[in-house]
Amino acid sequence: MDKVLLITGASRGIGAATALLAAKSGYAVAVNYASNSLAADEVVRAIRAAGGTAMSVQADVGDEAQVIAMFEKIDAKWGRIDALVNNAGVVDQQARVDEMSVARLERMMRINIVGSFVCAREAVRRMSTRHGGQGGVIVNLSSVAARLGSPGQYVDYAASKGAIDSFTIGLAKEVAEEGIRVNAVRPGLIDTEIHASGGMPQRAFDLAPTVPMKRVGTADEIAQAIVWLLSPESGYVTGSFIDVSGGR
């Protein structure tokens, strides 16, 4: 049986690129999506057409019951899980902090932070040698926004990714003796659809001149870093971060 990988938010962008690359590397991939089943099914079809193994699985990571059901579906289908990529996340319309509603903040933190915690919790319960598992790998998606703060645009998103950084360090130390490695990738300005959901579809390209390399990154470039962290080649790497940001 191939090693089993769950990627949250894998129907588009970085998640989809990672699913395709991981499948080529031999993983059976569970392609999670919140609502866009057609996009997730297309990723699954592409993986299968290339000779890989994949399934789509619906869950809003901000809903604990849906996360638990998602892991149970993977249990029923493949009977194991070896790796998790916590990729699902949201941004909101650009706004100053003094314009943000509590509803906006709670949605942001519930999906970006709590969702990653709950997915990791379920993965650790299955992978940790403490629970009878065989070990595994978790890769969290942070952002260079955690360092930059995203003033005047989305400080809330930046703060949620700062939390992911702390979460990565703490969980890595917590499960290091239990066969689980935990790392994070911090993308910079990447050409994905997430900018459109924040009301600025051209944001990455508009800000490209501020990047030392003077260009935006691609989803595939982020996927390469994620898949390396999943691989045995990074076997002594835990609690670490890879910035894929063109020097930003």
Catalytic sites, residue numbers: 157
Residues 6 or more apart whose CB falls under 8 angstroms from that of 76 comprise none
Edge-first strand listing for the sheet containing 241-244: 53-58, 28-33, 4-7, 83-86, 136-141, 180-187, 241-244
8 A C-beta contact, residue 245 and residue 189: yes
Give the position of tokens 């079809």.
45
8 A C-beta contact, residue 198 and residue 92: yes
| Dihedral, CA of residue 102, residue 107, residue 108 and residue 111, to nearest 10 | 150
Residue 63 CA: distances (Å) to CA of 70, 77, 112 = 11, 21, 12
Biggest alpha carbon–alpha carbon distance for the chain: 52
